[in-house]
Amino acid sequence: MGWAIALHGGAGDIPRSLPPERRDPRMATLRHSLDLAVAALQAGRTALDVVELVVRELENCPHFNAGKGSVLTSDGTVEMEASIMDGNTMSCGAVSGLSTVVNAISLARLVMEKTPHIYLGFHGAEAFARDQGVETRDPSHFITDENIERLRLAKQANRVQIDYTQPMKAEPPSDDNSRIGTVGCVAIDSSGNLATATSTGGLVNKMAGRIGDTPIIGAGTYANPLCAVSATGKGESIIRHTVARDVAALMEHRGLPLKEAAARVVAGVPRGDVGLVAVSAAGEVTMVYNTSGMFRACATEDGYSEVGIWPQADSDANANGGN
């Protein structure tokens, strides 16, 4: 068996013309986060600790749609959400509507460990964060110039924008692609413990109060003793198809192996709507999507690693490198 890790930075219609200044910082952060995860697993850290560690790192990167890089609501505000789940105990925690918490994923873990509840949102979640003494910042800390411009363009085009969609008509014709993606991580440690964590800022120009798939256990995030799954893409579609839970259900009730279960679930969601990363209790890893690409990375104890964006068949640079 052995340990295994997989992480994502969002899936969508990612053009191959994505310029280096947009692509490289994201790929560098994925590689750095993967290195942190591998070192932590090799040092004997639990899967739960590792998925939180990785997602915190991704939340702190302004190039992804979580934490510092969270996109803006139609009101010009940030509403972050996250969830985390322990596969062996099936304990879980989730938060929504955060505007001041630096690392939403750590607050989700505190909900799991310090309250009798699973899900806290908005004012109640913010109050709990203050009670727990987690790091908070003024809401302006999370509002970047890039996301202000992204919101302006979305409003001009009168649309809600998902992660990594193709440029809107209102955008310049260059391959600027400033879309950024939901983040997530799944892991199994050397003791066989499974865990998953997912975090996001949601959709560009979403209605204030909108909740997506990320904090909904069974939709964007799920783990049990068989597998751990973190999804990304169009939240409403992921919720309708209970994507993360369905992967586990196919393994549990149909006896399918992880890769087949994940592929079947993704194939059942409208094309262009979803990607996911998952690991199994046997140490298998899969990273599958029906979008044009997904920022992703993985590693296993037997020495395999992969960092990439587009389908592996198009480039041999994915394995031990990236494209």
pLDDT by residue (tens digit) across 151-204? 998 898 888 876 444 444 444 333 333 344 799 999 999 999 999 999 999 999
User: How far from 115 is each of 93, 119, 125, 129, CA to CA, in Å?
Assistant: 9, 10, 11, 12
Q: In this model, does residue 98 exceed pLDDT 80?
A: yes
Q: Give residue 313's pLDDT.
A: 59
Q: Is 182 part of the annotated catalytic residue set? A: yes
d(CA 170, CA 140): 26
- Which residue type occupies 114? K
* Mean of pLDDT values over 48-74: 96
User: Is there a contact between 30 and 60 (Cβ–Cβ < 8 Å)?
Assistant: no
Q: In this model, does residue 64 exceed pLDDT 60?
A: yes
For 132-154, the pLDDT digits (tens) are 999 999 999 999 888 898 899 88
Q: What is the pTM of this model?
A: 0.93
Q: Give residue 166's pLDDT.
A: 46
316 — pLDDT class (breaks 50, 70, 90): very low
Q: Give residue 171's pLDDT.
A: 43
Q: Give residue 32's pLDDT.
A: 98
Three-state DSSP class for residue 105 = helix
Which residue in the list 144, 182, 232, 300 is annotated as catalytic?
182
Q: Which residues of 176-202 are buried (b: 16+ CB within 10 A; e: fewer)?
A: bbbbbbbbbbbbbbbebbbbbbbbbbb
Q: Give residue 150's pLDDT.
A: 86
What interhelical angle do 104-114 and 122-132 show, nearest 10? 80
d(CA 29, CA 60): 10
